[in-house]
Structure 1
Amino acid sequence: MKNLDKKNYKGSITIIAAASENDALGKDNDLVWHLPDDFMRFKKITMGHKIIMGRKTFESLPKPLPDRTHIIITRSKKYVVEFDDCIVVHSLKKALQLAEGEDAFIIGGGEIYRQSEKFADKIELTRVHAHLEADTFFPKINNENWQLVQETFHPKDDRHQYAFTYLTYVRPQID
């Protein structure tokens, strides 16, 4: 993959995120909500696959997520991670090269989402029904590039501070 070109890419690339109605992702390198059912869905979808993330997203995890290969993007040539199933790269291009031929999931943060949008086949977005203060935001979804194909509402309850909706977007087929 000399040039990063989705037309020639083998494998699927899915962006997976949870963002509030004002596109808030997090603040101070942490989520601004706790949604256990969304965590379980994230685990189910990404288990056994390669997950691509920025350094700050990786560092926000309490530990590497089990049964997934972590591809961590950083500009720092000195950054080292000493965990099995963790690979450090210095560009999105290199991360996607390592994932080619497999299903890969882009898990954040905001800048990595922005860079990867043009290469993704699908977006799995949990839309949290609140307007929250944040310092990191999910990019606006351009409805000309994406088609909403599935929508599942989850109400607020004793385990979930906010109602939310699972949204699945795919690129429209061009005939």
Structure 2
Amino acid sequence: MQNVTALGPKNPWTANLLSALGIMHFNNEEIKETFDTLVGSGQVLPKIRLFEMLKAAYGFEPMPEEMGLFVNTFHLEDDAGELTWPELEAGFDEIREVLSGVSKNATEYISVDDYRTDLMKHRRMMKDPMDKFKAPMTESMNIGWHEEEVFNERFPKQSCAETRYADDMVKAKLEPF
């Protein structure tokens, strides 16, 4: 029962990084076990079954961003074709390299002095939160997270008849009361 909680992951900031995809949490040996049970003695996986294999290996469906990486790496646009384990292993390692570079994107400072200087001079961060995280981390980040068109609806002050009458009396330099 260790690390089981209804409150979510231990560190939600690292769990929400763009690089925190399924492929980073499973090594090649764990995925190889699923590959072997899926393909049996054939040792080749049809390209159209890659999603099925990843879902079985992870225990959950891969995120769309992750599937985009697999489509580009393994050229899954054309459904015809097969993948061998060495091809899959090389592709997985390539994807992990790309994602490790993305995780470095979340680090802005390597020195506390630089961070304090930027705080004192009120400098903004160099990278936007959308470049670091998959989803907004706080409720206030929801506004503007996606580039939607903003409508500023105006509600002008409306006065009742009595107030307009009193305002007119004041403008005429008369005592309204």
TM-score range, shorter chain: under 0.3
TM-score, normalization by structure 1? 0.22
**Larger Cα-atom Rg:** 2
Higher helix share: 2
Of structures 1 and 2, the one with the larger relative CO (CA 8 A, separation 6+) is 1
